[in-house]
Amino acid sequence: MTTTYRFLRAIVRYHRWALRAFVVLFLLTLLLLLRRFYLDATQFAPANGGTYIEGSVGQFQPLNPWFTITNNVNRDIVSLVFAGLLKYNPETRQIEDDLASLAVSNGGRTYTLKLKENIFWHDNTPEAPHPVTPEDVLFTFETIQNPAFPNSLLRQNFLGVEVEQLDDRTVRFRLEEPYSFFASNLTIGLLPKKSFEGVPVNKLDQVLDFGFKPIGAGPYSFKSLVQTELSTEVTLERFPRPIDPDYYLKRIVLRIFPDYSTLLSDIRNLDAVRLVPRNEQGEPIVPRRFKSINYTLPQYVALFFNLDRGPLRDQKLRLGLQLGTNKQALVDAIGEKSIVDTPLLEIDTSDWRYSYDPQAAQGALFESNWNLPEKVRLQRLLEMREANEAGVLHIDSIVLLDTGAILTVTGSLLDAPLGSTLNGAPVEQSPTSSGTWIAALRTVGGSGSLRLGASIVRLADPKGKPIDSCYVWRTTNTQEYKRASEEQRLVNLFVDSRAGKIPAAERITVQNFYLEHGMLRMRTEKDPTDIRVNDRGDRLTLTLLTSSAPDTYRKVAELIRDQWAALGVHVSIVVPETRDEFEQRLIQRDYDILLYGQSLLDNLDSYPYWHSDGIQRFEGDKNSLRLDAYNFSQYTSLAADSLLRLIRQTFDEKERQSALGELRDILKQDVPAIFLYSPLYTFAYHQDVHGIETGRLSLHSDRFLTLHNWYVRQERVFRPGMSWFSFLPWLVSFPHESDWSAT
């Protein structure tokens, strides 16, 4: 009994352990299957929260959408803190609704905007609600229109615009004439009227309390401004708004460094770098764990010809300079990539591309009023040759004759009877040949003697009436005589080449000549190109003005100087030391050529830069000079003006594209500037930051217009159509679970 009992207990104990082991194995298997199912049925998705830290180089200034035109650091912050009635979408490249919805009517003359509901300023609290109202809209734009407003450039965008409130959520803008790009002007950030009460309009740029603690209606509110040993830190926090889109990032920290080396010293604490410099190979200077995005803005750098300056009024000269500018060499030297041939960046230029052609450049310049000294000398020699070959007077055009010697000249009495004179000396009957006369030209004495160098010998009848004349060049130096004789040989060779009298391989052109010591000889590879001259002997010297920033401008100017030197154009480069000095020269058009950049922004409107409204008009008073005169070439064209106005006013895309094509051809023909390149920029971000797609930017700060897609945190979520209830069907199909992960 005891033995049987023990046996049964052993069996029971064994089954218990087996059952426990089975349960454990079952649970482990189930957990593994659940884990496998979870991994197959889920995917990573953005999660709310986290802090994004971005570094940039620059200088922080008080924040205000009205005064951030030239400060890109401030633009970044303003784009997040403030919001406009409308906004630019870099993904669709369209102006879309933001704080308000837009309706355009009356042929493009009326813009009606209705504020969305429950939009508040950042200082809003339950105890003190602060909604965005039409009064804030009117304050923002009527202040800009005020003649005392400190930013005259911004004021120009709203001249002649009438703003009125229709109801408690609607405002209307009335324009004097249709303007299809006006919606872009409504993307400027709104400002709360309450924050500026009692401040004179001309003092708005000095409101520091608001500038260092701004209140906007954008997706992020201003939290703090902290100065550290390395940088200035601006912290922004997500502000809840009832309008799309939603943002994942809870906090944005923008760190502003004094220089890029300081930024790199703290790169480990950054998630991104705003503008990354590139090395000589064009590679971004950031650690490998950073990803880079290269982009261009609707900008171009150009050489603007000042058409008010005499030499540059010659279209053939401008065309020659354009053809002789090697753009590819320029962009290669400064690490750029995007060559630009027209300021109309929205059109397709594949059917016409600029090409560097030094031979065609020389041809265009030869047709201008400015010629190389070799051509001027050759032309003079050809004229003298033609004059000497025609008529009855025949004298060697080059003579080697010491001072005091006499040059004897003979001719026919049929052409010049006795009593005629040669340079005032009477002709006499020749004692050795009947029917001929003889005359002696002295090399010293009074008028009519053969001087050293070029002289004109004139034959006149007994009444003093001219019969003929010819040119004679005299020297007493044997070497000079040899060089002059060689020059004469080359002229004869040139004439025969032009007439096709000699084999093609032996022919020469004016480009084969070089002027040395006043005479032509054959050019060698070591000979430089001389400076061109006009009919008065003035040398073609042009002044090129450019800015000291960015540094690439100086290098481009030097490359242009060297390239144009090969064309026979002397360029004097002026780089003012201060920004103020440069701007004064710019406003006063104190240059022949300006190397500078222009930005078209999101609307790509070329009107301010090429319409005659944008030229600087000089009325004797420097105070009358306009800051908004953006037509740096002083270019005027009735045809171009008409097309630019049409492009601004039409809402018909086909009509706009047709006008753009015509305008491109006019600018191509007139050559008011040489368009060089569109600057390439680099934005870098850490590999742990996701969702960054910048789209087509119009400003650097536009990258934040897609910030709603950025995230630093992730979480797993079920794929579409999947849930925990899908486990059993997935289990039945196992081991074909790969089909699930593909759904």
pLDDT in tens, 532-546: 888 888 899 999 999
Number of domains the chain is built from: 4
User: Would you place residue 390 in the very low, low, confident or very high pLDDT band (cuts 50, 70, 90)?
Assistant: confident
The one-letter code for the residue type at 409 is V
Low-confidence winner among 11-25, 264-278, 701-715 (lowest mean pLDDT): 11-25
CATH number at residue 390: 2.60.40.10
- Quick check: helix, strand or coil at residue 629? coil
pLDDT of residue 742: 44
User: Does one domain contain both 205 and 321?
Assistant: no
Q: Is 528 inside any structural domain?
A: no
Q: What is the DSSP string of 152-199?
A: HHHHGGGTT-EEEE-SSSEEEEE-SS--TTHHHHTTSPP--GGGGTT-
Q: Give CA–CA dist 408/400, Å, rounded.
A: 13
The pTM for the full model equals 0.83
The residue that leads in pLDDT, 69 or 215, is 215
The two structure tokens encoding residue 330:
């320029």
Q: Is 527 inside any structural domain?
A: no
Average pLDDT over residues 347-376: 80
- Quick check: helix, strand or coil at residue 397? coil
User: Does one domain contain both 59 and 149?
Assistant: yes
Does a cis peptide bond (omega within 30 degrees of 0) precede residue 62? no
User: Does one domain contain both 401 and 257?
Assistant: no
Give yes or no for a contact between 325 and 367, defined as CB atoms under 8 angstroms apart. no
Give yes or no for a contact between 520 and 514, defined as CB atoms under 8 angstroms apart. yes
Average pLDDT over residues 278-284: 80
Residue 149 has pLDDT above 80, yes or no: yes
The CA-based dihedral angle spanning residues 515, 517, 523, 527, taken in that order and rounded to the nearest 10 degrees: -100
pLDDT of residue 9: 65
pLDDT tens profile 127-144: 999 999 999 999 999 999
Average pLDDT over residues 20-38: 79
The one-letter code for the residue type at 430 is S
Residue 349 has pLDDT above 70, yes or no: no
User: Does one domain contain both 37 and 70?
Assistant: no
The residue that leads in pLDDT, 236 or 376, is 236
Nearest to 263 by CA among 55, 44, 573, 484: 55
Residue 464 has pLDDT above 80, yes or no: yes
User: Does one domain contain both 83 and 34?
Assistant: no
User: Does one domain contain both 631 and 730?
Assistant: no
User: Does one domain contain both 345 and 435?
Assistant: no
Roughly how many angstroms between the first and final C-alpha of the chain, as a whole number?
A: 64
Q: What is the CA radius of gyration of the chain?
A: 41
User: Would you place residue 743 in the very low, low, confident or very high pLDDT band (cuts 50, 70, 90)?
Assistant: very low
Nearest to 421 by CA among 355, 466, 487, 358: 466
Q: Are strands 232-238 and 251-257 parallel, antiparallel or unpaired?
A: antiparallel
Q: Give CA–CA dist 23/19, Å, rounded.
A: 6
User: Does one domain contain both 439 and 516?
Assistant: yes
pLDDT of residue 13: 65
Q: Give CA–CA dist 412/438, Å, rounded.
A: 9
User: Would you place residue 351 in the very low, low, confident or very high pLDDT band (cuts 50, 70, 90)?
Assistant: low
Last residue of a domain, one of 678, 694, 727: 678
| Angle at the Cα of 573 from the Cα atoms of 569 and 579, rounded to 5 degrees | 150
User: Does one domain contain both 435 and 577?
Assistant: no
pLDDT of residue 86: 95
DSSP state of 284: B
Q: Give CA–CA dist 469/477, Å, rounded.
A: 25
User: Does one domain contain both 619 and 663?
Assistant: yes
User: Does one domain contain both 89 and 208?
Assistant: yes
Q: Give CA–CA dist 489/675, Å, rounded.
A: 44
Residue 312 has pLDDT above 50, yes or no: yes
Average pLDDT over residues 452-470: 91
Average pLDDT over residues 191-214: 88
Percent of the residues in the chain that have a pLDDT greater than 70, as a whole number: 95
CATH number at residue 98: 3.40.190.10
Mean residue pLDDT of the chain comes to 89
pLDDT of residue 348: 64
User: By residue range, what is the domain housing residue 165?
Assistant: 51-292+681-709
Last residue of a domain, one of 469, 492, 522: 522
Residue 738 has pLDDT above 70, yes or no: no
pLDDT of residue 728: 76
Q: Give CA–CA dist 587/609, Å, rounded.
A: 14
User: Does one domain contain both 276 and 212?
Assistant: yes
